[in-house]
């Protein structure tokens, strides 16, 4: 009996020692969590896209060198006219409506008044120009003095008013200048009008002698 109890006690002690040994092995392990690596991926920044060029900007790339200024005549149809003095030396149809009527318009080689007249009449015939519409003329490039462009556009403005009345519609013409347009300096001695005497021509009364009151004894009119 005692022998049996001794064996049971020995077995219990062996079991306790075995569990104690396993606990020591487990306690020796490093329980510190391994830090995870964070991978940072750089997203490439997209370059800002440049705004698309307008039909006017594209047309100006082919502008003739001999023009004084370029003016957009906008009714929808829209045309870009290249003007030398008062004469249209080239043009560009800027949209599909303009392309539909350009064959009916005599533009190149005519004064700006005649070119604008044909554009207005053709626009009215095709139903583009209606009562109360606005015809915009916008200077988009200039190689001349502002007064020179204004003089030509004044003639075009008057033509638009007269032609629209003949066509039986009342329209308004407006002249604009783009902000980035830089005009040439005004001439110091502008050319006189057809009925104005030149400042440097001889007096027609005294024939340049200075013996009259008209020229203040200078001999120059």
**What's the pLDDT score for residue 13?**
74
Mean pLDDT of 213-217: 62
**Which residues lie closer than 8 Å to 108 by C-beta, 6 or more apart?**
88, 89, 90, 91
pLDDT digits (tens, 9 = 90+) for 157-207: 999 999 999 999 999 999 999 999 999 999 876 565 555 555 455 566 666
3-state DSSP call for residue 70? strand
Q: Is the pLDDT of residue 216 over 90?
A: no
3-state DSSP call for residue 4? helix
- In the chain, where the domains are located: 58-177
**What's the pLDDT score for residue 14?**
72
- 74 vs 123: CA distance, rounded Å: 11
Which 3-state string (H, E, C) describes 122-154?
HHHHCCCCCCCCEEEEEEEEECCEHHHHHHHHH
Outline where DSSP puts E strands in 41-109. Answer: 69-74, 78-84, 87-93
- Binned at pLDDT 50, 70 and 90, residue 19 comes out as low
H/E stretch holding 113 reads helix 112-125
Q: How many residues does the chain have?
A: 221
Nearest to 162 by CA among 170, 151, 152: 170
pLDDT digits (tens, 9 = 90+) for 55-97: 888 988 888 988 999 999 999 899 999 999 999 999 999 999 9
Nearest to 135 by CA among 165, 179, 99, 104: 165
Q: Centre a 10 Å sphere on the Cβ of residue 64 and count the other Cβ atoms it contains.
A: 10
């Amino acid at each position: 009996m005692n022998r049996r109890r001794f064996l049971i006690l020995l077995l219990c002690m062996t079991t306790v020692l075995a569990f104690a040994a396993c606990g020591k092995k487990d306690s020796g392990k490093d329980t510190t969590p391994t830090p995870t690596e964070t991978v940072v991926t750089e997203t490439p920044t997209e370059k800002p896209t440049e705004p698309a060029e307008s039909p006017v900007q594209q047309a100006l790339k082919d502008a003739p060198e001999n023009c004084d200024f370029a003016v957009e005549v906008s009714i929808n149809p829209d045309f870009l006219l290249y003007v030398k003095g008062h004469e249209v030396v080239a043009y560009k149809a800027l949209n599909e409506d303009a392309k539909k009527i350009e064959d009916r318009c005599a533009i190149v080689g005519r004064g700006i008044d005649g070119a604008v007249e044909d554009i207005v009449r053709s626009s009215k015939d095709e139903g583009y120009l209606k009562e109360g519409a606005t015809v915009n003329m916008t200077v988009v490039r200039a190689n001349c003095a502002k007064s020179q462009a204004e003089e030509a556009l004044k003639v075009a403005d008057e033509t638009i008013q007269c032609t629209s009345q003949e066509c039986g519609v009342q329209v308004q013409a407006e002249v604009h200048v783009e902000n980035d347009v830089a005009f040439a300096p005004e001439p110091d001695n502008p050319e006189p009008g057809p009925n104005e005497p030149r400042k440097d021509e001889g007096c027609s009364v005294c024939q340049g002698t200075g013996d009259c009151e008209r020229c203040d004894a200078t001999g120059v009119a």
